[in-house]
Structure 1
């Protein structure tokens, strides 16, 4: 599984492949994004491999490289989805104050939806 995760299948009569799991998880993310709209903020809780698949997809990384992403138990990863692309705001965070991640009403109205040239410029999610 480590060398080519996309080809791995979990054991059992109804074993799901890593590729199927990733597709199911990413489809769920897109579903919730549509439900909540551009200012939506929600929490998804899952197993490490599912979170790694979502983070890898957001980073544009092939599923076969998703083992390069480390996800610790009880860690928080934050992905901001915009009309143009997703942004990984936090990955595998285990100790930050998460209250700053809730966008203010002002930032909700003025969000551009794309990257700032040169980086995040200290802007909060």
Structure 2
């Protein structure tokens, strides 16, 4: 199966202000976020992408646009961009638009931290439903890209922190109640390969480092006993 690069959008004005943006329209990258998106785009330009799949929200589309434009300059062609509602931000309902400092005082906050599988946001979505739809969307696109471009294909999914954390938790075989142990910063890249036997989590929450090894990476297969020689070994 292909390799998916899970890209979190760059920092936004809401992130900087400590506000839970959710699906609020008009939330865009701030100056730091644009720099993060540019840095991430430069990293991803080291490997040709078969596709860029993005959440419909502006901050993700801005980040995806930076990735596609850098691919165009580096590879001479731009990968197709697909908007996928399955990786849209969680619907936080009545929590949307509120300050995180205020939300931390809500009784539900402790459950979000300790037992997210039991959480349904008032007037919004459950975290379990969020994980189910986001994992299904990523796995569906991965299968389609594999059929169209082969097992060595690499593609990017540009999404949100909780979305990416939930996809990583699924790939790691972790219960959703443990997904708060995973950190996914703005502009970060995490790497998953859905092999024939199990997913392989290659990297989590990286914001630097060479990705050119993905150009020649073999399809995911059996796990090497002892850990193997690592990427780029000849």
Normalised-by-shorter TM-score class = 0.7 to 0.9
TM-score for both structures, normalised by structure 2? 0.47
Q: 8 Å contact 1:76–1:93 — kept in the other structure? A: yes
TM-score for both structures, normalised by structure 1? 0.85
Larger radius of gyration, structure 1 or 2?
2
Structure with the larger helix share: 2
User: What secondary structure is seen at the aligned counterpart in 2 of 1:56?
Assistant: helix
Answering whether residue 7 of structure 2 is matched by residue 7 of structure 1, we say no
Pairwise CA RMSD: 1.5
Structure 2 portions without partners, runs of 5+ = 1-111
TM-superposition CA deviations, 1:37-93 (whole Å, max 9, x none): 133311001111110001111111100000000111110000011111111111000
Q: 8 Å contact 1:33–1:40 — kept in the other structure? A: no
Structure 1 portions without partners, runs of 5+ = none
User: What secondary structure is seen at the aligned counterpart in 2 of 1:121?
Assistant: coil
Relative contact order: is structure 1 or structure 2 higher (C-alpha 8 Å, sep ≥ 6)? 2
**Number of matched residues?**
117
Deviates more, 1:78-87 or 1:35-44: 35-44
Answering whether residue 186 of structure 2 is matched by residue 73 of structure 1, we say yes
Deviates more, 1:2-11 or 1:20-29: 2-11
User: What secondary structure is seen at the aligned counterpart in 1 of 2:184?
Assistant: coil
